Structure 1
Amino acid sequence: MDISLQEMVWLGLGLLAAGGITGLLAGLFGVGGGAVIVPILYELFRYLGVPDDVRMPLCVGTSLAIIIPTSIRSYRAHLARGAVDTDLLKIWAVPVVLGVLIGSLVARYAPAELFKTVFVVVAGISAIRLLSGKDHWRFGETLPGKMAIRITGLVIGVLSSLMGIGGGQLSNLFMTFYNRPIHQAVATSSGLGILISVPGMLGYIYAGWPRAAEYPDVAALQPPMALGYVSLIGLALFVPTSMLTAPLGVKLAHGLSKRRLEVAFGLFLLLICLRFVLSFFE
């Protein structure tokens, strides 16, 4: 479809602004910002004429690619403050990556509704837990054994790759259920984003390559605009501002009280749920 220069300028400015919000969220909540990236890209790709059956996975794959630099920047900032549980990240590393690769293969065949449903269920449970403020919502006072942690990592990897997120919502929920402080959960989640986003991006390039060949007339799916299910134009416009604002989010996170951070994160997740519930009726 033909798009005027003015429309392209507004799209570009919108993506740059969204990148700034993404970086802020990455640092503030320990998430990669995928919950913001995916709905914004969904509207952009609809505007660019990307077919419905490949639009959502294109959003998710692009989101995972965008998360890479913001997660790295956020993780380094939290690590410098000594807030990251590096031992937990080491246990999670292999099963999380394996889960991401499994999720990427599922994405090749999954309908768009699956991605949205996973978003709503996971984000809704997380929001209720955080906004309730009830500390007795716990599975235990300490983390379970290594096998249980590895299984959890596998599940987090699969779900994160289907949601286009860095795993922050899921790992935050897991850690706080086992009595870990919210600040430590947020900081550790930023490192998990790196483990998820890199193999996730590669998996979506692989999954989307044959699908893009089915739509040779859709420029947004073809090189140099995209590689498989990863939009290069979306990546180029999101990353610069997200890198700039990630450290600001980290600073805000460490300046908030435990309860305020929980409430802010819970409200943020409720907005995600609302956005995708409404999308079922579009």
Structure 2
Amino acid sequence: MDPTHIALIAGIAVLAGIAGGILAGLLGVGGGIVIVPALYLALSFTDMDPGLIMQVAVGTSLASIIFTSASSSWGHWKKGAIDVQLLKLWAPSILVGTVGGAIVGGVVSGQVLIAVFAVVAFIVAMDMIFRKPSASETPRSFSRPVWIGSGVFAGAISAMMGIGGGTVCVPVLNFLGYDIRRAVGTSAAIGFFIGVPGAITYAITGMGQADLPPFSLGYVNLILLVFLVPLTTTFARVGVSLAHSIPQRRLRLLFGLFLVATAVNMVRDLIMHAM
């Protein structure tokens, strides 16, 4: 790989780290929903097997989310926007779903992961843009089995998409009647419970795989991680400040429009690879 390609990949990783960090704090999404497409683009400039690009992008994104989520969560915690009781209720089932989703994501084709990413991002975007928030100030509640099932689903989808859980968890919590800022803060903390088992599982399932980029631990690339982590953790604090200053409706709309753009970009990639 020539120096121009190396500089281009580094530049994309830096921009992804800044944008991912801001979005992590702003939307509680762990940053993965922008980091995965960015890493996918960066790695497409290498000579690695196209079928492995998405796995590396997802695995590396999950590893970066460990640090981004910790930084974002701390900022939201200081503003009282994390529901600790909900974390205790949801975290175990999310862990189970994350491990299962990461195992599936590590063995299926990259095109499947792209399709999952695009479809889920678009569905969530439509919900966030068009559904009116509940007028009730008291969060609704479901039975424990429903919470468990939703946690397993959220963890599995998040691990397959390489995201911190906010893409799924924020709309779910908002639907249940949680204030959007509290939903964002709690989802940021949930990202840590997704990032740790998800990154470990992708590292294990990718062990021994040929044609991975240099300095890869399974499907987690350590060089890209070094570029991402300092930026995502720093700029996550900027996102937290924005999240607590932007009106709720505008925050929901911003989240939805961003997801639409992401889904469209991933569908375009699918079509280009099919041609």
Q: What is the TM-score of this pair, normalised by structure 2? A: 0.94
Letter of the 2:144 partner, please give it.
K
Corresponding residue for 1:3? Answer: 2
| Maintained 8 Å contact 1:143/1:175 | no
| Maintained 8 Å contact 2:9/2:45 | no
| Maintained 8 Å contact 2:199/2:220 | yes
- Give the counterpart of 1:243 among 229, 233, 236: 233
| Maintained 8 Å contact 1:104/1:203 | yes
- Give the counterpart of 2:200 among 196, 199, 202: 202
| Maintained 8 Å contact 2:12/2:42 | no
Q: CA deviation at 1:14?
A: 2.8
Query: Secondary structure in 1 aligned to 2:44?
Result: helix
Letter of the 1:158 partner, please give it.
A
| Maintained 8 Å contact 2:28/2:184 | yes
Q: CA deviation at 1:136?
A: 6.0
2: CA distance, partners of 1:278 / 1:13: 23
Q: CA deviation at 1:137?
A: 11
Query: Secondary structure in 2 aligned to 1:166?
Result: coil
Q: CA deviation at 1:219?
A: 5.7
1: CA distance, partners of 2:56 / 2:133: 38
Matching of residue 258 in structure 1 with residue 256 in structure 2? no
CA RMSD in angstroms, aligned pairs only: 1.8
Q: CA deviation at 1:35?
A: 1.2
- Give the counterpart of 1:62 among 60, 63, 67: 60
Q: CA deviation at 1:143?
A: 2.0
Letter of the 2:163 partner, please give it.
I
1: CA distance, partners of 2:135 / 2:206: 40
1:172-183 to 2 correspondence within 5 Å?
172-183=170-181
- Give the counterpart of 1:151 among 149, 152, 155: 149
Instruction: Give the stretch that moved more between structures: 118-127 or 95-104.
Output: 118-127
Unaligned runs of 5+ in 2: none
Query: Secondary structure in 2 aligned to 1:150?
Result: helix
Q: CA deviation at 1:23?
A: 0.5
Corresponding residue for 1:274? Answer: 264
User: Structure 1 280/195 Cα, relative in aligned 2: closer, same or farther at 3 Å?
Assistant: same
Number of residue equivalences = 271
| Maintained 8 Å contact 2:5/2:46 | no
Letter of the 2:265 partner, please give it.
R
1:96-135 to 2 correspondence within 5 Å?
96-135=94-133
2: CA distance, partners of 1:219 / 1:98: 27
User: Structure 1 83/219 Cα, relative in aligned 2: closer, same or farther at 3 Å?
Assistant: closer
Letter of the 2:198 partner, please give it.
G
1: CA distance, partners of 2:106 / 2:128: 33
Q: CA deviation at 1:83?
A: 0.9
CA deviation map 1:229-253 (0-9, x unaligned): 0011110111111111110100000
| Maintained 8 Å contact 1:24/1:242 | yes
Corresponding residue for 1:40? Answer: 38
Letter of the 1:266 partner, please give it.
G
1: CA distance, partners of 2:216 / 2:269: 25
Q: CA deviation at 1:154?
A: 0.7
Unaligned runs of 5+ in 1: none
| Maintained 8 Å contact 2:51/2:111 | no
2: CA distance, partners of 1:56 / 1:260: 32
1:211-226 to 2 correspondence within 5 Å?
212=209, 215=210, 218=211, 220=213, 222=214, 225-226=215-216
Q: CA deviation at 1:141?
A: 5.6
Instruction: Give the stretch that moved more between structures: 74-83 or 174-183.
Output: 174-183
2: CA distance, partners of 1:137 / 1:172: 17
